[in-house]
Amino acid sequence: MLETICDTLVEAYKRNWITSRDGNVSIRHHDRDHFYITPSGVRKQTMQPDQFKKIGIEQGYYDQPPRPYYSWKELEYTDISEKLKPSGEIPLHFGLQREMGQHSDDVRVVVHLHPTYCIAAMHAGIDLSTISNAFPELNRYTKVAHNVGDVPPISQELADQCHHHLELDKDGNIAYDIVGIKGHGVVAIDTSPWRAFEHIERLEHICQIVLASGKYE
């Protein structure tokens, strides 16, 4: 499935949803203690499966009060991968993959891209969830969360806000398929790269229609 992720990134690049080194994707099988994530600084339109980073999920325990904590570490994967660093958005992916890895579905894919009209709509002050409610053909297949506001990229704050707006619970369930981040992009989640991509595609199409109408007060 890593090859499929590469294919979706090529398509995102063709659509101008990312520039060469933008965007990030991760994937985890629910019964495994690791996930794969795209590396930082690699041209996404020419990316290969052996460039992915393999990230281990580790659990430890605090003594006072007794409670678990989780951390991640880079694992060996390929010689090429070893020379690369994981995406700077790893806090976002780690939190989602750690929690959603408990879910019964066999795979979870998290896709973060920068689609033009989605970002433009948020810049114009539109909450993407209101667009979802106004267009049944979108809402039928894609549940859109309220926007995340201005938060620093590649930060734990961004990760926490995305988790909160997606309504990620302790059992690994989420209430929404996609969330917009103001001035930044969107994060979509599903059981395959193309299914996550399609959530972005649907929302991007509707945002284009709304902006073209000029009626979004």
pLDDT of residue 190: 93
pLDDT of residue 21: 93
Structure-model confidence comparison of residues 52 and 107, the more confident one:
52
pLDDT in tens, 21-42: 999 999 998 778 899 999 999 9
pLDDT of residue 102: 55
Compute the radius of gyration of the chain from its Cα atoms.
17
**Domain residue extents for the chain:** 2-32+89-213
pLDDT in tens, 96-112: 898 775 555 678 999 99
pLDDT of residue 98: 85
- Of the chain, the percentage scoring pLDDT greater than 90 comes to 71
pLDDT of residue 17: 97
Mean pLDDT (the chain) is 91
Q: What is the pTM of this model?
A: 0.92
Please give the CATH number for the structural domain made up of 2-32+89-213: 3.40.225.10
In which region does residue 119 sit, left (phi positive, over 0), alpha (psi from -120 to 50) or beta (all else)? alpha
pLDDT in tens, 127-144: 999 988 889 888 889 999
Rounded distance, CA 183 to CA 55, Å?
Answer: 28
pLDDT of residue 134: 86
pLDDT of residue 104: 59
Rounded distance, CA 65 to CA 52, Å?
Answer: 37
Concatenated DSSP letters of the chain: -HHHHHHHHHHHHHTTSS-TT--EEEEEETTSSEEEEPBTT--GGG--GGGPEEEEEEEEEETTTTEEEEEEEEE---HHHHTS-B-TTHHHHHHHHHHHTTSSSSEEEEEEE--HHHHHHHHTT--HHHHHHH-HHHHTT--BPPPB-S--TTSHHHHHHHHHHTT--TTS--S-SEEEETTTEEEEEESSHHHHHHHHHHHHHHHHHHHHHT---
- Of the chain, the percentage scoring pLDDT greater than 70 comes to 97
pLDDT of residue 103: 56
